[in-house]
Amino acid sequence: MGGFLGGLVERSVAPPHHRLVRQVFFRALGGIYLIAFSSLARQVRGLYGSRGILPVKDLTSSPRMVSMGYERYLWYPSLLWLDASDKTLVRGLRAGQVLSLAVMAGVAPQASLTALWALYLSYVSLGRDFLSFQWDALLLEMGLLGLLTAPVGLRPGPGRYEPTAAQVALWRALVFRLYFGSGVSKLKSGDETWRKLTACDYYYETAPLPTRGGWYAHHLPPPVRHFSTAAVLVLETMAPFLVFAPRRLRLLGFWLFSALQGVIIATGNYGFFNVQSLVLGLWLLDDASLRRFLPAPPPARPRPWWRTLGAWLPAAPFLVLGANEILARFNRPREAPPWLEWLERRARPLRAVNPYGLFTVMTVSRPEIAIEGSDDGETWHEYTFRYKVGDPDRPPRQVAPHQPRLDWQMWFAALGSPPIWLLAFMLRLLEGAPDVPKLLAINPFPERPPRYIRATLYDYRMTDPETHRRTGTWWNRERLGLYLPPLSLAPGGTSSRLQWHAGE
């Protein structure tokens, strides 16, 4: 045992190098940006166009925004203030795709990453509900760190200089915060399912967009599910400290985190979040770990002292804010010094440092909303979403790394009171807005919109293996009642655009 532990903590004689790691990482980051921009481009007109669910153009010209004066540009930094037309929304995403390809090809990575960060921030700042996911915030944080640490030049390759200790520390600190913050939030929540190690009894069945693999995992023996819950807590609260350990322990952390992400990918759809987590883990490696796959780069140039100092200057605020974010999770009463409060206020609109932690409180049931339309108020036809749970006979789909934002938000909506965007969505269906039905798989009113629309709430449970073998169904569902009563377009001249009707 002593020899095994000694081998794990043995340090390399030569100092570690990270130029290959940096090169591979930034090309992979370009790939993540490409996924994010491409995914949003498929949905942007229906979500944010002039006749979409939450038009950006309406937000930028709203009285609330106008009343903020110049402060609106500070709190909602976005290039879309200049123009939020449908064409501009699409063209901005196309530009993001081109710049992403440039980063993947190693062309002007720092300049391209700067433009990518500014573009994505422009959509997130004004995107409200549909761009409020943790992976959107993580991509902006990665993008901001990326433009500060990417090599300079048109075709810099692995770069002339080794990454500084400050640059490596920035990325490893983010890896630590990503996992440790998630683990601590679960423990601090007081949620009974994490405390009793039963979270995985519910996780696979109640995941926002489950996969077929999640269906099978749900039927694993209870001891396996309980062990899985314990393993998640250990990996998210103890393994993160391997980030700062000697090389071999750090490599162990890389493989543990990668295995965790692999299981999550197989059992749930979380957009590009898991790809981000895997790519971030590259900073736990060094060039020696990659040389069996990639040729060694030319020797690095000696780094001038002023480059080392210059790397620490922007790194310090990020490290301070990141440490403060972790400490805040322990609920210690404190009064932050004025300089720290000022720094937090300036960083918040830029999404520079963010809290992370999915499933802090485990959802133990699966309510789902079905949107139904009718021409006469008697016969109702259900709209079919592309990816969210609906037809009990339809198997769960593997959709990640694509992020179907409407489908995801429908899951959140079912857990609480009707959000404003859901009413806006139903209004657009009644109006026959052309881009909104394109977000769906099947529109039961292709010729003209329905006269009435309503939302019905169902409870879903995964079928047991025997029922599935016998009937082929993946879900059992039970109608719970109306989530929203029948709605129709209000007559002209009224202040409201929707009117409510009684009935089932």
Span 65-88, average pLDDT: 96
For residue 118, count other CB atoms closer than 10 A to its CB: 15
More confident residue, 362 or 332: 362
How far apart are the two ends of the chain, measured CA to CA in Å? Answer: 68
* pLDDT tens readout for residues 7-52: 444 444 457 899 999 999 999 999 999 999 999 999 999 999 999 9
Q: How far apart are CA 314 and CA 347, in angstroms?
A: 13
Per-residue pLDDT tens over the stretch 410-448: 999 999 999 999 999 999 999 999 999 999 999 999 999
**Alpha-carbon torsion 344, 357, 53, 487, what sign?**
negative
How far apart are alpha carbons 384 and 345 in whole angstroms? Answer: 42
- The predicted pLDDT at position 302 comes to 78
What's the per-residue H, E or C state across 45-75?
A: HHHHCCCCCCCHHHHHCCHHHHHCCCHHHHH
Number of Cβ within a 10 Å radius of residue 219: 14
Q: Is the pLDDT of residue 488 over 80?
A: yes
Distance, CA of 26 to CA of 108 (rounded, Å)? 11
Give the length of the chain. Answer: 504
| In the block, residue with structure tokens 């971030």 | 280
What digits encode the pLDDT tens for the residues 308-338?
A: 777 788 899 999 999 999 988 887 656 788 9
Residue 1 has pLDDT above 60, yes or no: no
393 contacts 474 by C-beta, under 8 angstroms: yes
Nearest to 475 by CA among 386, 388, 393: 393
Looking at residue 308, what is its pLDDT? 76
Q: Do the beta carbons of residue 286 and residue 16 sit within 8 Å?
A: yes
Radius of gyration of the chain (CA): 25
Question: Is this structure's pTM higher than 0.75?
Answer: yes
Question: What are the pLDDT digits (tens) for 365-400?
Answer: 999 999 999 999 999 999 999 999 999 999 999 999
Q: Are 33 and 120 in contact (CB under 8 A)?
A: yes
Amino acid at 278: L
